Structure 1
């Protein structure tokens, strides 16, 4: 099987597919790693709404993808940034998503993002504004019986004047949680509005504030997801966590090493990259659970170049690559995204993703992937009549 693909100057050359679809195996949930995929949403392409309006979602396709993840044994991190939270998916849409996932997959391992995105950053004036916004979302999710991932808040980053403000808000918000939650430290490479989160510009100072919050509220905390794309910072933070508090890697660049672990411990996983990598992730975790560490790395290590490409700068647009691969693999019938985000990456990016996904065995139906890649190329004026 082959396809003509353009280089960055538009010159076509024939590309021969070499990969074989990766073997799949469900991940056993009784293993000593907890693994979540942060799942994307499928836009409704037939909406008459402008891209900047309320989220229009294809619920059937969105839920079918969650059944796919659950069938592989992966947990689902629902209504997170991979679902374009705050970048197309508003709070009403997020709550509906959480409600539907809870209804359709009542026995799945699901944690749900609770934040403050119903509060426009421009309207945030006081800490009380942020507190009320957090509590509103927590109450709504807990009424559904949902577990919480406490998302970082753009509004809090704006109004907080010191680390003590973060400590106070998290203390009050965590007190309202009826089950232990996962905290989320999202770096500004994912969301520039979160620059200097925890009230400090340096990692060490920010980490000390975060660690204070964890220590002071330990019974309320299951773990923390750190998304800084820096394995050394994550390992340092992991080793300082109180006993019983999990580290969930959010490092989409170094996940095999961090999940595999070292003599001092390992990270669990809550990763956006485990949406397009779901079959590889589940198979690798089944190998690790069986004691085959070499097999785990043989499966997962080759996916790292693909992940680094998907999450390249500007990192916040990684969702475009995630949804592109979902389309190539037949999980949705179109390549349309909330807020028009299918246009947030250039054509050479998609060409490189196609090649990397093939090399990793992540094109589950190569014939379909070729057909759809040709359709995308045609939109850009590239014709392959092979």
Structure 2
């Protein structure tokens, strides 16, 4: 069995013996019990600058290969979301190419694909609602032109410009009136992006929820579902029960997804989750078990992933992308551990050591020898030696 010495916070070291790799079954047919999208990261080209403020330079083979890995486990793809560093280094030209290429890969695989449409290509200081709407229109039209379902992302510019709920309605009502197909509305909480405080016109979550529900009910024929990323399971349960019958709730709760996806007998959540990119084989196994009515196997697959998810998404939550890229590197999906804008430094070495331990405990390191070798290389690169 493979073993590696790992450091602890008290500067001591201890031997860690990796478990034998888990054999995760890929589904023979598409998963139908729940709609499940994994929000995927991007792999950087090591020959590109990819420093803060520079245009993103992407390793297309590795980035698209990772998406094929997700498809092989029956998962859909949520493309160009915050996991792919929207608003944290991924510029609009690279985003367009990413969506275009990924939509083509999804079509070839017969997989679901949805992609983020926002206003992140606009200047930060824009406050004119018509200009913000035009930005949304441009990105939404592009996403729909690729065949992907549009995910209407929360806008930092709109959060800054809107004076009240009516300003949000002026933008969203006009945008939804012209979309080609039903879209997914995304409510991203401040844990993921502090610039979105007071979204929907109020800092009070209850008041904001009422405004959000009014928007969805008034535009139900144009809304496939809503993705809620507030990390509040009780709020999500109440919200999904209040949605119109044909509007789905896609959980974005990376802390409580097993119970939310399983449901309470009356309602359940579908999934659009960043952690699914890191735990794709286990997520697929859980959904396959749920499809067969086997709750024990569902719990057995998902249960060990929760400590990993809660660690990867620990505060400051918006740096969770670093953990997702680190896991992909450990698992052999990319040749190096680098990120757009240098975000590989968004987590401390000890945080990533614990990510390694928890991924191993969940059976998510398919090649223990490779994972241990790469972990040792990483430790040496940051000066952690015995």
Q: Give the TM-score category using the shorter length.
A: over 0.9
| Matched residue, 1:15 | 16
Separation in 1 of the partners of 2:212 and 2:313? Answer: 25
Q: Is the 8 A contact 1:229 1:251 kept in 2?
A: yes
| Matched residue, 1:272 | 274
Q: Is the 8 A contact 2:78 2:113 kept in 1?
A: yes
Separation in 2 of the partners of 1:116 and 1:24? Answer: 39
Structure 1 residue 28, shift from structure 2 partner: 4.5
Structure 1 residue 139, shift from structure 2 partner: 1.5
Q: Give the SS at the match of 2:58.
A: coil
| Matched residue, 2:351 | 349
The match for 2:113 among 99, 104, 110 is: 110
Separation in 2 of the partners of 1:282 and 1:49? Answer: 32
Q: Is the 8 A contact 2:62 2:334 kept in 1?
A: yes
Separation in 1 of the partners of 2:208 and 2:50? Answer: 41
Structure 1 residue 103, shift from structure 2 partner: 2.2
Separation in 2 of the partners of 1:12 and 1:347? Answer: 14
CA shift in 2, pair 1:119/1:253, >3 Å: same
CA shift in 2, pair 1:245/1:277, >3 Å: same
Structure 1: which 5+ runs fail to align?
A: none
| Matched residue, 2:363 | 361
Separation in 2 of the partners of 1:108 and 1:177? Answer: 22
| Matched residue, 1:4 | 5
| Matched residue, 1:303 | 305
Structure 1 residue 303, shift from structure 2 partner: 0.8
Matched, 1:190 2:192: yes
After superposition, what is the alpha-carbon deviation per residue over 1:100-153, rounded to whole angstroms, capped at 9, x for unaligned?
A: 11223313210010000001222x121112101000111122222221011010
Q: Is the 8 A contact 1:27 1:72 kept in 2?
A: no
Structure 1 length as normaliser, TM-score?
A: 0.97
Structure 1 residue 321, shift from structure 2 partner: 0.3
Structure 2 length as normaliser, TM-score?
A: 0.97
Structure 1 residue 30, shift from structure 2 partner: 5.2
Q: Give the SS at the match of 1:341.
A: helix
Structure 2: which 5+ runs fail to align?
A: none
| Matched residue, 1:227 | 229
Q: Give the SS at the match of 1:136.
A: helix
Separation in 1 of the partners of 2:256 and 2:333? Answer: 26
| Matched residue, 1:96 | 97
Runs (4+) off by over 4 Å: none
Separation in 1 of the partners of 2:49 and 2:27? Answer: 39
Q: Give the SS at the match of 1:263.
A: coil
CA shift in 2, pair 1:213/1:50, >3 Å: same
Separation in 2 of the partners of 1:240 and 1:208? Answer: 10
Separation in 1 of the partners of 2:20 and 2:114? Answer: 34
Separation in 1 of the partners of 2:270 and 2:196? Answer: 24
Q: Is the 8 A contact 1:38 1:270 kept in 2?
A: yes
Separation in 2 of the partners of 1:339 and 1:223? Answer: 32
CA shift in 2, pair 1:49/1:290, >3 Å: closer
| Matched residue, 1:244 | 246
* Aligned pairs, number: 383
Q: Is the 8 A contact 1:280 1:299 kept in 2?
A: yes
Q: Is the 8 A contact 2:51 2:342 kept in 1?
A: no
Separation in 2 of the partners of 1:269 and 1:293? Answer: 17
Root-mean-square deviation (Å): 1.3
Q: Is the 8 A contact 2:49 2:57 kept in 1?
A: no
Structure 1 residue 52, shift from structure 2 partner: 1.9
